[in-house]
Structure 1
Amino acid sequence: MRTQSAKRDTILIAFFIILSVVLWNIPTPFDDRIDENATQSKGRILSVDNSQLQHHSLVTVGVQVLDVEILEGKHKGETFTVSNQLMGRLDIDKAFTAGDTALLVMTHKPDGSIDSVVPQDHYRIGLEVTLLCLFALLLLLFGGRTGAKALLSFIFTGLVLWKIFVPSLLLGIAPIWLALAVVAILTGTIIFLVAGLTRMGTVAFLGAMLGVTSSCILAVWATSAFKLHGAVMPFAETLLYAGYAHLNITEIYVAAIFVAASGAVMDLAMDVAASLQEVVDTHPEISRKEALLSGLRVGRAVVGTMTTTLLLAYSGGYVTLLMAFMAQGIPVINIFNMIYVAAEVVKTLIGSFGLVLVAPFTACIGSVLFTQKQKSAQPQKQLSTVLHQS
């Protein structure tokens, strides 16, 4: 039995490895919009001329004149003098100093020579890859085989979001139904990769999807009741003005609410399912009602911390918003009535609703499936005992 389970597990892992490789190599419908005459390269800032900059309190405007050296590719070693325009916006401006590394975007002439060089931003790719590798190594060292499966699900999730979810949203596919389908795929992948094709995985998956569906329904209602719209999301207006005015950004906002909460929901569903299975395996004679009560007690304990975790995770994203309003002496009732704050409140509360509901959902499903196994096995055990005595 264990050999068959390990075989199914290996087949599942191989399937998602192949699927991840396929997704990595499949182009998105928007790849052809990338300028083929532009290439990227790591570069070093050799010197900086700040004589044309003007400083106004916290704001700096003007032009930096930079001498840069290309560090990669066939133009490695070549140097150029380029300009870096500062617009007086701290959120998008980047100021360089001598010795910095930058991501250089180069356009080419028909003969292959460089036409222009633009320092896009500080070079962060190397550090990002290093952190990713350290994370993967730590996960493998600590988790072993389970850690490897978790890493595979992490990579697969990122590929699905980038290669399927985001392009499909841009193509105008119904955001809510699309998000539900993507969450179902990712939930199944993550849970069954970690738990295997087992009853525990089935219980966790069904409980998580019921929680996500509840969050979706509540998000649709709350968005209408609170008079919210998708323009509260960062870069939503930029997207509309960039030629995507046909997109329903309010539905995208609804989808974002339960997609963001789905990770915590499946985590809680797995906690309850694993704990409940342990209880049933330890006490095979447990009744369905007792199993349900045990699952609910586990759910209560976990929900108590998970909802606070969700609050901290969301509030960290808009703490500067609250600081700005408080610094201006705006009353609390005014603050929480503003659309930006109300949108974050809805995110937090709807996600918390999903967490609270997923525990009893998972406990109910687990109490049925786990005890069903024990009940079906009980007559066989009794029959074998009678035959042995005779």
Structure 2
Amino acid sequence: MNVIVILAAILFLLMVMIGGKKGARSFIALFLNFGVLFLTIILMTDPHINPIVLTLLSSAVICSITLFYINGGNVKTVTAFISAMLTIVLLLFFIMAVTKHTSIQGFGEEELGDIGIFTLFVGVDFVKVTAAMIIMGTIGAITDVAISITSPMREIHSHNPSMNRKDLYKFGLSIGRDILGTNTNTLFFAFFGSYLALIIWFKDLSYSAEKIVNSKVFSAEAVTILCAGIGIGLIIPVTSWITAYFLAKQNKR
């Protein structure tokens, strides 16, 4: 516990020293978002609450905290919020279809040993829960890409107000291409880094490559990474178009 407090204090000091007031707000936003996630998980266990609706609501709250609480209300945060929510809605229904088709919901055989003494009839739709889990794992990256595109687009528009919508859109896409690879790799290593112990376990159990790929635990992780990558790729043109539309409309006014 003391180590966690020390690490949190170091993080807070670094964020305040580098980011000032915005860094302090970013640190507070971490705990606010954690609270939203924790509450979402608790409410998701209620069979009377639809996990999809709950995920959309919690995603909107998390996006609002990340964008408006840290950066304030302006054109870049509004367009980033709209872009992120639109992408999340499109991605959520796509993920539901993929999850149902690949049957990655629920628990794999490697996980049943620890929960075998409990009943699995909990009255929860695990397809929806799995789709919600994937969205929760990608919402941070989606929001990050959205604000990373809208911020420079707004900056270049302020220096060159005569830029038309098409040029602004192309500029947003060029920014998106620069950050697409790095964000995708970040997701890849973050997810697989957290499952490194599982991969070592597969090796100790002498799993063949075919059995590893077809195991539910590995397949669920692979689908999560690929869906997150699709979300990052999807939000780039969505954010570029919406931001270009808002900035061009602002010019006419």
* TM superposition score normalised by structure 1: 0.60
Identical residues among aligned pairs (%) = 24
* TM superposition score normalised by structure 2: 0.91
**Does 1:300 pair with 2:177?**
yes
| Higher fraction of helix | 2
Paired residue for 1:199, among 50, 65, 75? Answer: 75
Superposition pairs of residues 218-367 of structure 1, within 5 angstroms: 218-232=94-108, 238=115, 241=118, 245-327=122-204, 329-367=206-244
- Secondary structure of the residue aligned to 1:230 is coil
**Does 1:154 pair with 2:14?**
no
**Does 1:167 pair with 2:42?**
yes
- Comparing 175-184 and 227-236, the one that deviates more: 227-236
Query: 1:239–1:327: structure 2 CA closer, same or farther, 3 Å change rule?
Result: closer
Query: 1:240–1:300: structure 2 CA closer, same or farther, 3 Å change rule?
Result: farther
Q: Is the 8 A contact 2:51 2:128 kept in 1?
A: yes
Query: 1:350–1:366: structure 2 CA closer, same or farther, 3 Å change rule?
Result: same
- C-alpha deviation, 1:327, in angstroms: 4.8
Once residues 89 and 116 of structure 2 are traced to their aligned partners in structure 1, the CA distance between those partners, rounded to angstroms, is 28
Once residues 14 and 71 of structure 2 are traced to their aligned partners in structure 1, the CA distance between those partners, rounded to angstroms, is 20
Paired residue for 1:212, among 88, 92, 95? Answer: 88
Q: Which runs of 5+ in 2 are unaligned?
A: none
- C-alpha deviation, 1:355, in angstroms: 0.5
Find the counterpart in structure 2 of residue 34 from structure 1. none
What is the identity, as a one-letter code, of the residue corresponding to 1:129?
Answer: V
What is the identity, as a one-letter code, of the residue corresponding to 1:262?
Answer: I
Paired residue for 1:145, among 17, 21, 31? Answer: 21
Q: Is the 8 A contact 2:107 2:216 kept in 1?
A: no
Find the counterpart in structure 1 of residue 52 from structure 2. 176
Q: Is the 8 A contact 1:296 1:360 kept in 2?
A: yes
Query: 1:273–1:196: structure 2 CA closer, same or farther, 3 Å change rule?
Result: same
Larger RCO (alpha carbons 8 Å, 6+ apart): 2
What is the identity, as a one-letter code, of the residue corresponding to 1:160?
Answer: V
| CA displacement, residues 201-243 of structure 1 (integer Å, 9 cap, x when unaligned) | 1111111112222321221011111122222496897499268
- Secondary structure of the residue aligned to 1:308 is helix
| CA displacement, residues 155-212 of structure 1 (integer Å, 9 cap, x when unaligned) | 21122222x2122112232212111110111101210122211011111111111222
Once residues 77 and 96 of structure 2 are traced to their aligned partners in structure 1, the CA distance between those partners, rounded to angstroms, is 28
Find the counterpart in structure 1 of residue 250 from structure 2. 373
- C-alpha deviation, 1:252, in angstroms: 1.4
Query: 1:350–1:230: structure 2 CA closer, same or farther, 3 Å change rule?
Result: same
Once residues 129 and 320 of structure 1 are traced to their aligned partners in structure 2, the CA distance between those partners, rounded to angstroms, is 25
Q: Which runs of 5+ in 1 are unaligned?
A: 1-124, 377-390
Query: 1:324–1:250: structure 2 CA closer, same or farther, 3 Å change rule?
Result: same
- C-alpha deviation, 1:130, in angstroms: 2.1
Once residues 332 and 243 of structure 1 are traced to their aligned partners in structure 2, the CA distance between those partners, rounded to angstroms, is 29
The alignment of Structure 1 onto Structure 2 pairs a total of residues equal to: 251
- C-alpha deviation, 1:153, in angstroms: 1.4
Q: Is the 8 A contact 2:100 2:127 kept in 1?
A: no
Query: 1:263–1:364: structure 2 CA closer, same or farther, 3 Å change rule?
Result: same
